[in-house]
Amino acid sequence: MSDLFIPGQTVGIIGGGYQARLLGLAAKTMGYHVGILAAENDCLASDIADWQVVADVNDEMGLFTLAEKSDVITTTTPIVTPALLEGLDEYVSIPESIELFKFSQDRLLKRLFLEEANVNIPPYNVITKMTDLEATVDSIGFPCVLKTVSPLENEEDELVLNKMADLRYAMEMVSKQTCILEAMIPFEKEIIVSIAGNGNGEYTIFPLVDVSLNSDNRTFRSIVPAGIAGEIKTEIKRVVQLIAETLSLQGLLTVELLITEHGLIYVHDLQHGPHHGGNYTLEGTNLSQYEAHLRGLFGWKLPEIELIKPAVSQEIIGDKMVDTISCIPFYANWYHHYYGRSSFNPNEIVGHVTILTDSISTTLEELNKTQIWDKPFQIKGEN
């Protein structure tokens, strides 16, 4: 039986970005006090928090201070060190599985977990030296991607290999740390599915979302419901439920999947906590991903998720902000969210807009006509 946290208690959030802001707003609506830990005094979440610990997310004393002032802790950043969180366990409740935090820091551990759970993932090999790479690249095939086992901050930690001659570019990466060579799956759709658990064996699954990614792997567009055949949708939900149950999930988990043209399903990644592809839930479902995450952490009951209306959600980067604001007088069904950034660079995410619609194809045409976003909107398969 999980602990029950009630309104009036304090949730501490590690991180100060837009997801911390939206999570904090949801917590305050539910009646909780909110504290954050972030290095920037003027971070996006600072103006909605009741108090802030100004420290790096891996500052041990800062984390201890956050724990002392909180009843329950969660994080919106994948870079917090799991061992530091484990050290806080005797001072504050951390309902989320520490294993999930470890997955964020160890790509090999995540793959071993998924294999143990009998989940289909892209073929891969462990690479410790260049001779490993040369020996295994034939079995993986081109194109493939080389990844460091531990994600690197502010450094290149992935390298796409298209031919044998590209192996020479891998020497520096392989010399730094153990790597994974992974097959690049030719997919027709990339799908995300979020699931929330409350630690009492209860789970609730959000609708399948069709996502389109930028070259930097940030969510560019989300379409819900995804155009997926019924039997594939059933299998995806089974896989997602299996992963959640194996983890005894408490809080929110998003599973990223690749679907091939022949209907094969590959689990591509796992992300704990709110996902940028799930921001449509603020208007599109009866419970947002942010409140679902908090309900799970707090041990609340979880309702069945219902899609209120089909939706298209589009993230906004800095150089598109003024253009999207100019649309406000013209589109009644556009729900604008801006994250309070007063100064920004052109490529920084500063908000999102969600459009509830009766016709996804008509909405995509409407978005194209604005000429705000450079990439044309298209539907892949059925919607």
Residue 380 has pLDDT above 60, yes or no: no
Handedness of CA 266, 187, 271, 201 (dihedral sign): negative
Residue 383 resides in a domain: no
**Total number of domains in the chain:** 3
Q: Do residues 213 and 360 share a domain? A: yes
In CATH, what number is assigned to the domain containing residue 31? 3.40.50.20
Phi, psi (rounded to 5 degrees) for 274: -55, 145
Same-domain status, 194 and 179: no
Q: What is the pLDDT of residue 219?
A: 46
- Say what the pLDDT of residue 382 is: 38
- The confidence band for 186, taking pLDDT boundaries of 50, 70 and 90, is very high
A 10 A CB-CB count for 116 gives 9
Among 132, 150, 183, residue at a domain's last position: 183
At 189-224, the pLDDT tens digits run: 999 999 999 999 999 999 999 998 644 444 478 999
- Give 249-265 pLDDT, tens digit per residue: 999 999 999 999 999 99
Write the DSSP assignment of 258-326 as a string of letters: EE-TT--EEEEEEEES--GGGTTHHHHBSS-HHHHHHHHHHT---PPP-B-S-EEEEEEEGGGHHHHHT
CATH number reported for the structural domain that contains residue 359 in this entry: 3.30.470.20
Banded model confidence at residue 176, pLDDT cuts 50, 70, 90? confident
Q: Which of 77-86, 108-117, 240-249, 292-301 has the lowest mean pLDDT?
A: 77-86
Read off the tokens for 282.
Answer: 């603020």
**139 lies in some domain:** yes
Residue 29 lies in a domain: yes
- The last residue of one of the domains, among 134, 154, 183, is 183
Task: Answer whether residue 382 is part of any domain.
Answer: no
Is 296 a member of any domain? Answer: yes
Maximum C-alpha span of the chain: 61
Which of the four pLDDT bands, split at 50, 70 and 90, describes residue 377?
low
253 and 174 in a common domain: no
Q: Are residues 43 and 165 in the same domain?
A: no
Q: Are residues 228 and 134 in the same domain?
A: no
pTM of the model: 0.93
Q: Which pLDDT score, from 0 to 100, does residue 216 have?
A: 44
**Half-sphere exposure of 73 toward its Cβ, with a 13 Å CA cutoff?**
30
- Residue 3, domain member (yes or no): no
Do 164 and 223 share a domain, yes or no? Answer: no
CB neighbours of residue 376 within 10 Å: 8
Question: Average pLDDT, stretch 45-49?
Answer: 96
Q: Which domain holds residue 53?
A: 10-94
Q: Are residues 33 and 170 in the same domain?
A: no
Question: 89 with 155, same domain?
Answer: no
Distance from the Cα of residue 372 to its chain's centroid = 25
Are 252 and 302 in a shared domain?
yes
**pLDDT score recorded for residue 376:** 54
Report if residue 103 sits inside a domain. no
Q: Does residue 268 sit in the same domain as residue 170?
A: no
Q: Are residues 252 and 339 in the same domain?
A: yes
**Residue 381, pLDDT score:** 45
Judge whether 211 lies within some domain.
yes
